[in-house]
A and B are shown apart, each in its own frame.
Chain A
Amino acid sequence: MIAGTLVTAPVLMVYTAMGIAFGVLSIQAGLSAVNTVAMSLFVYAGTAQLAGIQLLAMGVPPLSIVITTIVINSRFLVMASALAPLVARFPAWQRFLYGLEITDATFALHIGRYGRLPMRKIEAFTTNIVGHIVWVGATVAGVVIGEKVTDVERFGLDFGMPAMFIAILVPLIRSRVHVIVAMAGGAALLFYRYLGFSYWAILAATATAVLAGIATEQWTRRQPS
């Protein structure tokens, strides 16, 4: 339990920063305190929540908001598929509980930490549950300070998430194929964004990068080196 919390400490730092930022922005967008906290409790996905408060503030019809949520969160289908082998030996109800708590951060942390090794169950669940509690707690803090603080960027809160992704991505890159996949992912994201893809850009870029990886493997296998 303690090990799980310690491993998660940097992630909790990011959750705290992002949760506060979300709380502040949500109150400023006109959501009530209860709805702001409900969003962190039930939706539990930063990007979808940030988009959600903007759409709710704009008075977009609920069905459109739910569809946008599906599109934004479709990347979790990809992430959860990559996590599935790590939890394959868990009983179904534990996989269910594990699935509920998947976020960008826990995905990155668990893929980085467990890789092809068996997952340490208690550690993983502690990460998930403590993470969710801190996310909701930080949202409450953001709600409380939402009327006083207006500029979340001044405190670097928005850089917590990309910094964490960088910290987890760098050690995952262990071969030339990985370098190509990473560069293709970044370049493809810009390309699809440039073409006007909005929320689909991440999925399209991921697919492109995966194809680039497979193609590179095929090609290097054929080259006698």
Chain B
Amino acid sequence: MDQTSTFLTILAMGAVSMAIKLAPVVFLPGRQLPRWLDVSLRHLPVAVLSAMTVQLLAVVDGEIDLRLANLALWAAIPTVICATLTRSLFWTIAFGMTLVVALRWAFG
């Protein structure tokens, strides 16, 4: 595909992405939500964040990778402990990234 068609494809990707993000915040407020949806919304943040975290850590190139060689996956355990102890966004990210670099340097 030439770069112009690529650009047009990117614009279309942008349009659908924006529409998906916009629709709920523009149209949901002010409406009486059905009870099941209201109850679901309380669990949504934890549910979607845990699913995405596991996806980022345990799925490598589309395949589940629970091997010891998947260093990022195992680095997540000390990172969870760090998050529990510090409750700090900054220190958890800094600790996690440093740990992964160190592990990959040592064992990679």
Contacts and interface: CB of A to CB of B under 8 A. Distances in A.
A190 B64 contact: yes
A129 interface: no
A209 B92 contact: no
A10 B90 contact: yes
A78 to B, nearest CB: 6
Contacts of A39: 10, 13
A62 B12 contact: yes
Interface in B58-77: 58-59, 62, 64, 72, 75-76
Contacts, number: 277
Nearest to A56: B6
Interface in A194-225: 194, 198, 201-202, 205-207, 209-210, 213-214
A151 to B, nearest CB: 10
Q: Give the interface size bracket for A toward B.
A: 35 or more
Contacts of B97: 17, 156-157, 159-160, 163
A96 B19 CA distance: 10
Which has the most chain B C-beta neighbours within 10 Å: A70, A89, A193, A210?
A210
Interface of A: 9-11, 13-14, 17, 31-32, 34-35, 38-39, 41-45, 48, 52, 56, 59, 62, 65-66, 69-70, 73-85, 87-90, 92, 95-96, 98-100, 102, 104, 108-109, 111, 153-173, 177-178, 181-186, 188-190, 193-194, 198, 201-202, 205-207, 209-210, 213-214
6 contacts: A42-B10, A84-B24, A100-B18, A182-B49, A185-B49, A206-B44
Interface of B: 1, 3, 5-18, 20-26, 28-30, 37, 39-59, 62, 64, 72, 75-76, 79-80, 83-84, 87-90, 92-98, 100-101, 104, 108
